[in-house]
Amino acid sequence: MYKNKNITLFSHILVWLVLFSMPYLLSYGQEQDLNRVIAHFWIPIAFYAIIFYANYFVWIDKYLFSNKTVHFIIINLIVIASFIILKEILKDYYFNETFKITPKKEGVGPPIKMFLYIQMLSYMAPLLFSISIKTTKRWIQTEAERKEAANVKLKSELQHLHYQLQPHFFFNSLNNIYAMVDISPDQAKTSIHSLSKLMRYMLYETNVELISLSKEIDFMKKYIDLMKLRVSDKTVVNYNFPQQETGIKVAPLLFISLIENAFKHGVSASKSSTIDINISTQDKTVLFTIENDDFPKKSDDKSGSGIGLVNIKKRLELLYLNKNSFSTIVKDNRFIAKLEIETN
């Protein structure tokens, strides 16, 4: 910020030095009349500077941006008219008598109306220039604030979805463990211990924007092992994950809801079922696919809250807009979900 202010100050000084040096730069090698330069060039430049900075630092903010346009116009007209008159007084009296500049002859020169018109236009230039710069600066600031507000909103929504996912996951896991308590108390104890490890990961390692795919895979393996304790031998769970470190980073807890969904809707107590989970990578693209038998829950089944897939879709919109492909279909009594994301 301090560096930018120094650059701005230096650029303003440079511009005015160039303007004040213009008569010498344009007539290099020719004889200069200092009195005429002062009267016809330096005094107008000084007035231009006053108009520019008075508007830039005070009047535009105080009047124009405060919807006091009439006041803004009147003030500038009065100032410009005063400068035109003052300039002519200085030229006709002070410089003519002190420096002996030859006065104009009557009837020589442009008509008074044209003269005033040209003078007004010349003084309007710094006014319009200050308005354009100030307006552009304000637009840039407004745009930056809008982007910052959008960024804050995005982070807030993502945080909400993240916090929404944790109790959803915890609730579903507790439901699964509850089903084991009477049937297999030892397995229930083991499941609670495993769940505590998973919750530790969710609470302390996923509060980041991106996490390595290998950590997510390790988390999914532990969750699958936890869920396999609940299901019977009639359910077969196959998974194929990358064995080596890929260097890819993804949004945390992006795939777990699909695995939860498979164990919730793809397992039957009386029928055989198979769950197939695959993750493959190519360059920076991750393809996650999961297939399971489709055993829709009855309407009176209240296990889970049904927010898993909705949560995924919202997070994909916020994190991987135009960089994801997500589809779910039911084919031959098999539920198939495919999620592809570009991580670069």
Specify the pLDDT at position 304.
47
**Strand pairing of 273-282 and 235-240?**
parallel
What pLDDT, on the 0 to 100 scale, is given for residue 280? 96
User: For the whole prediction, is pTM greater than 0.75?
Assistant: no
At residue 254, the pLDDT reads 87
Which residue in 102, 106, 80, 78 sits closest to 91, CA to CA? Answer: 102
**CA distances (Å), origin 14, targets 9, 38, 78:** 9, 19, 29
Residue 276, pLDDT score: 96
Q: How far apart are alpha carbons 29 and 202 in whole angstroms? A: 78
What's the pLDDT at 223?
87
Separation between Cα atoms, residue 58 and residue 127, nearest integer Å: 12
Q: What pLDDT, on the 0 to 100 scale, is given for residue 101?
A: 44
- Confidence at residue 99, expressed as pLDDT on a 0 to 100 scale: 46
Residues of the chain with pLDDT under 50: 29, 98-103, 105, 108, 302-305
Angle between helices 308-319 and 112-181 (to 10 degrees): 150
Q: What angle do CA 270, 275, 281 make, to 5 degrees?
A: 175
Domains of the chain (ranges, CATH numbers) = 2-146 (no CATH), 155-342 (3.30.565.10)
Q: What is the pLDDT of residue 214?
A: 94
